[in-house]
């Protein structure tokens, strides 16, 4: 089945999102030449019959009382600037997924392919530099990208076969200096001791060089963020300065010491930032 395209735009008075974006651009980015902003959601659908499409058009994709519908083509003046935004491959698109599920509920058949893009139309005198500022505002490169304006022939994704994961050649035989160079090149968050431990493990247990993926995973899950190494570091000695704020902090710390004796009793437990942060819930 051919790909069908539909554009849905909130009617004037209901276009809250467009009005908000207009305010952000004019007030925060100081783009004075902007006169109007339109936001249109573009749906590309494949795998749906004409009858089902007509039903979904006014029940799934739009609400006729508050939405304007444009099929296949969108009439945009040549002087206007256009930005189309879509999620990166692999990012979850709730709007597209919900639309596909709703159509399947209606038809009781196979779930169609649906892809969504947000089309932003900018009217007014907008310079190239201001246009780039707006792009940087509305596109988060971590999860979205600019979408093509042309309609695709199919929505089926054709993913290339990935290459084999690279091996860090010679890792288990690297000298200390070579390990430090590798640590800088790969920008590891783990400590040098952690990396040395990895080298010992792959040399003595696995008896092979690790892959880049293996080292990246270890680096991620051994990071301070995941292991909370800072929070679990044993606090052995605490000193306080002599000033009003420090004295109050000392009073709170001494209160913590009293409480932890009641909570932990005779059980040996290190004083850590994690224990300080969670003691109130255990008290």
Number of domains in the chain: 2
Domain boundary among 180, 205, 227: 227
Do residues 132 and 24 both lie within one domain? yes
Full domain range(s) for residue 125: 4-146
Residue 261 predicted with pLDDT over 80: yes
- CA-only gyration radius of the chain, Å: 29
Do residues 211 and 109 both lie within one domain? no
Residue 226 predicted with pLDDT over 80: no
Min mean pLDDT across 6-10, 209-213, 268-272 is at 268-272
Do residues 11 and 73 both lie within one domain? yes
pLDDT at 163: 86
Return d(Cα 57, Cα 64) in angstroms, integer: 9
- Per the prediction, the chain carries an average pLDDT of 92
pLDDT at 90: 87
Query: Rounded mean pLDDT of 262-277?
Result: 89
Do residues 97 and 212 both lie within one domain? no
Residue 202 placed within a domain: yes
Residue 207 predicted with pLDDT over 90: yes
257-268 as b/e: b if 16+ CB within 10 A = eeebeebeeeee
pLDDT band of 244, cuts 50, 70, 90: confident
Residue 162 predicted with pLDDT over 90: no
Do residues 215 and 90 both lie within one domain? no
Tens of pLDDT, residues 115-152: 999 999 999 999 999 999 999 999 999 899 999 999 99
Residue 135 placed within a domain: yes
Tens of pLDDT, residues 70-105: 999 999 999 999 999 999 988 999 999 999 999 999
Domain boundary among 111, 146, 181: 146
Phi-psi region of 228 (alpha: psi -120 to 50; beta: other; left: phi over 0): left
pLDDT at 157: 81
Do residues 25 and 121 both lie within one domain? yes
% the chain with pLDDT above 90: 77
Do residues 183 and 141 both lie within one domain? no
pLDDT at 190: 87
Domain boundary among 208, 227, 246: 227
Which residues are paired to 81 by β-bridges? 122
Residue 266 placed within a domain: no
pLDDT at 203: 96
pLDDT band of 225, cuts 50, 70, 90: low
Contact, 240 vs 277, CB < 8 A?
A: no
Do residues 10 and 101 both lie within one domain? yes
Return d(Cα 19, Cα 36) in angstroms, integer: 8
Residue 221 predicted with pLDDT over 90: no
Residue 262 placed within a domain: no
What's this model's pTM, rounded to 2 decimal places? 0.63
Do residues 32 and 137 both lie within one domain? yes
Do residues 10 and 134 both lie within one domain? yes
Residue 227 predicted with pLDDT over 70: no
Q: Which two tokens stand for residue 12?
A: 């004037």
Residue 88 placed within a domain: yes
Return d(Cα 2, Cα 154) in angstroms, integer: 7
200-213 as b/e: b if 16+ CB within 10 A = eebeeeeeebbeee
Residue 260 predicted with pLDDT over 80: yes
Residue 110 placed within a domain: yes
Tens of pLDDT, residues 27-63: 999 999 999 999 999 999 999 999 999 999 999 999 9
Residue 165 placed within a domain: no
pLDDT at 183: 93
Do residues 128 and 8 both lie within one domain? yes
pLDDT at 232: 79
Return d(Cα 62, Cα 57) in angstroms, integer: 6
Do residues 202 and 72 both lie within one domain? no
Residue 239 placed within a domain: no
């Amino acid at each position: 089945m051919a790909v069908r395209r539909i554009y849905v735009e909130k009617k004037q008075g209901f276009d809250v999102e467009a009005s908000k974006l207009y305010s952000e651009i004019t007030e925060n980015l100081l783009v004075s030449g902007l006169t109007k902003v339109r936001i249109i959601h573009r749906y590309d659908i494949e795998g749906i019959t004409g009858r089902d499409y007509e039903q979904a058009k006014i029940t799934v994709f739009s609400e006729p009382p508050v939405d304007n519908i444009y099929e296949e083509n969108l009439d945009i003046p040549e002087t206007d600037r256009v930005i189309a935004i879509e999620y990166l491959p692999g990012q979850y698109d709730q709007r597209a997924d919900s639309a596909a599920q709703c159509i399947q509920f209606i038809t009781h058949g196979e779930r169609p392919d649906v892809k969504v893009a947000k089309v932003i139309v900018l009217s007014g005198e907008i310079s190239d530099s201001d246009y780039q500022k707006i792009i940087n505002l509305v596109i988060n490169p971590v999860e979205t990208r600019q979408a093509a304006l042309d309609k695709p022939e199919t929505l089926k994704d054709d993913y290339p076969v990935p290459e084999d994961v690279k091996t860090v050649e010679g890792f288990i035989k690297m000298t200390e200096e070579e390990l430090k160079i590798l640590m800088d090149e790969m920008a590891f968050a783990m400590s040098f001791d952690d990396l040395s431990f990895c080298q010992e493990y792959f040399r003595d247990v696995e008896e092979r060089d690790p892959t880049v993926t293996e080292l990246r995973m270890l680096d991620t899950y051994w990071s301070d963020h995941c292991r909370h190494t800072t929070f679990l570091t044993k606090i052995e000695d605490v000193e306080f300065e002599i000033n009003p704020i420090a004295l109050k902090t000392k009073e709170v710390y001494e209160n913590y010491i009293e409480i932890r004796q009641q909570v932990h009793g005779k059980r040996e437990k290190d004083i850590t930032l994690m224990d300080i942060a969670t003691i109130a819930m255990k008290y």
